[in-house]
Amino acid sequence: MAITPRRPVNPKDAAEALFKPMKKPAAPAVERRSAPDVKELVTIKLDSAVLEHFQKDGPGWQERINDALRAVVQADLG
């Protein structure tokens, strides 16, 4: 039985073996506008004191943060 070498003997074949076939580039992402007043899941880092302030009144603290941020945005626009 003939023994097949594990590595290419031909230098050109050895060089070709180092490179993988090129894949098609991914299609560019399409930016879609969301409907107004739709809530999106995000990750945000807040200071412990800020988080404690909004959580001290119990459930609904995320809504309270959202309301406070909305008030800042509206004051900035108005």
Question: pLDDT tens-digit profile of 1-56?
Answer: 566 667 667 888 777 777 767 777 888 878 777 777 788 888 999 999 999 999 99
Give dist(CA 25, CA 18) in Å, integer. 20
- Taking alpha carbons only, the member of 26, 35, 37 closest to residue 73 is 37
pTM attached to this predicted model: 0.54
| Amino acid at position 43, single letter | T
Q: E-strand spans in the chain?
A: none
Cα 25 to chain centroid, rounded: 19
